Structure 1
């Protein structure tokens, strides 16, 4: 994509998501209304018209500085794919909770004991910041779930089209603002009000209570939600120097929920098993763990910040990963590196899968995580001090 067109294209891609979410809400609200052509005439037809206009704007934006892409009009029309909420999904006969044609398949699970070690440690220089700061925020025992995403689709209900787990801030949804997040309580024991959220992992051998709900089974995310046995949130330092404070309300997305179709440029999925994390990390496969070992999802967020912005049009450009030696690019500053480790007791493979967008096949490579920094300035200063002085605290 031409750099000059990126902001406008991203804005219109977000509009496509909002248009689809609104159509999904109308499907749910008008269930049972109208005649046999009601859905096509009142919902899918107008949706196609809106999407066509939006796609035309994307085409024009790209055409200003490069060759216009062809054939995008064919992406405008939508069909139900899965039955509307309150009806049976088209592949319901496959059995309760089965992923069916949506994936994952048995071939996407690998025995971790048969994978060659692939983890390499980053070397630290003499000036490295070696401390760590931990926020203990629970495992979402309260069951805070929704299919919103306040970073990518603010103001849009069901903007994620898949369900998120939340810890930290006690109320995060499509209506959240910096002010509302600041006013909420937190599940973290140190007063950290930050929002930490990720797509749920499901036991696909069992039917969940949201089997016919938007974000859940009505959009291909079927199964009972698994609660992590542990969630560890740690901020670490830079291997090449000191870190500076993150700005309050910094927003970071790590990984790509559409990496199965987008490619792996922004993918950042890490799957392993307890006892193997320092040896093997998988990206596009789920692990089959030996007896007594548990499945681990881990995330290491971008830790270089542009020094001025708390977000960007593509929700990525304002932050970056350090290079292979641990250095931030020119113009970027090293901030505390947020790492998260989620441990699960899962059913036997292939009966678990991560929530995702339709068409992404619940592939392991689509795993991702979202973060909004709502620490007080005082708590962030404490975190930076611990990290830069080599202490472990929180």
Structure 2
């Protein structure tokens, strides 16, 4: 009887030990999986050298003004998994979550007419749509509706933007012409990780307090500094189309000297600058397609111009006259 009890105890210990080992191994593999899920390295911003390049000097015919469009920082919680520019009419076509300012109705089913009639978060009445992928902290589970619906490996608490700056600038070499109403535009490359190319990688990451230092990696910022994302849009329009099949060829980037390619015309240059309060050591990840593994190089943004002709004319006049304006 004693032998039977000892054998039973031994079997129980073996079962418990095997289960415990499997649990530890599973937890270790899960942690490794989470670490491997985010592609690309992070870099201490203090180790990033300042960019030696300087903006081209403004020539005599430049449009040296700037216009800040005050649209808030998505206090309304306008998120969805749509992409009106790239996949109109397709619900959840982005496969990740976008955050918006400006037009409060923007989703996959929006039309020019619905956008023109909608409310906006912009103080001056600009109904344009400005949007980008959300940034998450992956050490916390998300509790909101849009923190679960994206799927495709995009999990974690959505980080609110500490600030959102929407700014238009002119050209260093010439006056700019108005954008056509309902122009669609995009910047960045959402598939840069698998494409292995950098030509369309446009977003630059950084930290407040370190001007001139930018990286395509996730930045590690010291305490008290905010993570920043800066997305600059192309500003040379072909004069014909408000959109293109490839979403790019109707609106191109100027040369580093600010000169537009032949056959295109300079329009206002849009810049979206975002910041986030993230404590040192907190892991973050950009929403992405699953195969892109949250690479920071895949950062991108979209824009649909819904300004009235009067609003666009006033913006262009401010840029061409070299003034600093806010709307």
TM above 0.5, yes or no, is yes
**Is the aligned partner of 1:332 residue 2:264?**
yes
**Is the aligned partner of 1:313 residue 2:313?**
no
- Equivalent position to 1:304, from 215, 236, 240: 236
Give 1:387's aligned residue: 319
> 2:279 & 2:97 partners in 1: Cα distance?
19
Distance apart, 1:348 and its partner CA: 3.0
Give 1:94's aligned residue: 30
- Equivalent position to 1:189, from 123, 128, 132: 123
| 1:1-394 alignment, distance < 5 Å | 94=30, 99-104=34-39, 108-123=41-56, 124-209=58-143, 210=145, 213-215=148-150, 218-262=151-195, 263-277=197-211, 279-283=212-216, 285-349=217-281, 351-394=283-326
Distance apart, 1:214 and its partner CA: 3.8
> 2:103 & 2:260 partners in 1: Cα distance?
29
SS in 2 for 1:219: coil
SS in 1 for 2:273: strand
Higher percent of residues as strand: 2
> 1:150 & 1:181 partners in 2: Cα distance?
11
SS in 2 for 1:116: coil
Gaps of 5+ in 1: 1-89
Distance apart, 1:264 and its partner CA: 1.5
Distance apart, 1:324 and its partner CA: 1.8
CA deviation digits over 1:321-373, x for unaligned, max 9?
00121100111000000011101102434511110000111111000000000
CA deviation digits over 1:148-170, x for unaligned, max 9?
00111111111000000000001
SS in 2 for 1:252: strand
Contact 1:140/1:166 (8 A) holds in 2: yes
Contact 2:207/2:225 (8 A) holds in 1: yes
> 1:119 & 1:190 partners in 2: Cα distance?
37
Distance apart, 1:292 and its partner CA: 1.7
| Larger RCO, structures 1/2 (Cα 8 Å, 6+ apart) | 2
SS in 2 for 1:180: helix
Contact 2:139/2:282 (8 A) holds in 1: no
Pick closer, same or farther for the CA change 1:318–1:372 going to 2, 3 Å. same
> 1:119 & 1:224 partners in 2: Cα distance?
36
SS in 1 for 2:167: strand
Distance apart, 1:194 and its partner CA: 0.3
> 1:375 & 1:103 partners in 2: Cα distance?
38
> 1:221 & 1:249 partners in 2: Cα distance?
30
Cα RMSD (Å) of the superposition? 1.9
SS in 1 for 2:313: helix
TM, length-normalised to structure 2: 0.87
SS in 1 for 2:317: helix
CA deviation digits over 1:217-275, x for unaligned, max 9?
x3101110011111011100001010000000001010011111112121112001112
SS in 1 for 2:77: coil
Aligned residues: 297
> 2:126 & 2:324 partners in 1: Cα distance?
16
Pick closer, same or farther for the CA change 1:291–1:190 going to 2, 3 Å. same
Gaps of 5+ in 2: 1-25
Distance apart, 1:99 and its partner CA: 3.7
> 2:221 & 2:280 partners in 1: Cα distance?
9
> 2:301 & 2:27 partners in 1: Cα distance?
29
Contact 1:110/1:286 (8 A) holds in 2: yes
Pick closer, same or farther for the CA change 1:360–1:349 going to 2, 3 Å. farther
